[in-house]
Amino acid sequence: MQVKSLSYYVSIWTGIVIAFSMAVYAVFQYVMLPDATVWSLFLNHLWHVLVLGIFIYALCWLVFQKLLLVPIRAISIHLYGVGTGRLRELELNTDISELRMIADGINRMIRRMKQGQDPRVLENIEERMISLRKIVKGLPPADKDKGALMLDEISGLEQSLLSLVREDYKE
């Protein structure tokens, strides 16, 4: 199943509703003007029906983008950041109550996640890294090459963990 954006579906259905409405209007015009031919109705009324339909479609698309898609993208990007460890509260400027409720729920979840953090996490990481280094340095001489590789990996892991933790504590 191919995944499509919400914008795609709203655009398609808005276009269908507008086309249907304009078709009903054209039939109404044909019934109300019995002396008119289909060709004269086409020439006299089609241009304003098309212009009105395109205008309504464009206006709906713009409003939908501004009020719904931009905030949804902001929420999605923020949640991706939370998934990678950035526990910042979501600042969402919207008057749409449903989106506001989602933002409030995300912020409540982040506050709870922060409360569960161990304030000594930085010290614990450093202590465990020192302990791992001691274990690797205590390996027999035959395993020194593996030990050097392990020390490099431990150093990289330590840098990644510490940068992640420090970033969370800055906030």
For residues 109 and 139, membership in a common domain is answered with no
The tens place of each residue's pLDDT in the chain, 171 residues long, gives 788 888 788 888 888 888 888 788 778 877 888 787 777 777 777 777 778 888 888 898 888 888 888 999 999 999 988 887 788 899 988 888 899 999 999 999 888 877 766 667 667 777 777 887 787 777 777 766 777 777 777 788 777 776 766 555 555
- Output the pTM of the full model: 0.53
In a domain, residue 21? The reply is yes
Listed residue (60, 54, 64) closest to 22, CA to CA: 54
Q: Within 10 A of 29 (CB to CB), how many other CB atoms are there?
A: 14
How many separate domains does the chain show?
2
pLDDT at 127: 79
pLDDT at 102: 93
Residue ranges making up the domain that contains 39? 6-115
In a domain, residue 1? The reply is no
For residues 105 and 125, membership in a common domain is answered with no
The CA–CA distances, whole Å, from 15 to 7, 29, 53 equal: 12, 21, 8
Dihedral, CA of residue 19, residue 20, residue 23 and residue 24, to nearest 10: -150
pLDDT at 147: 72
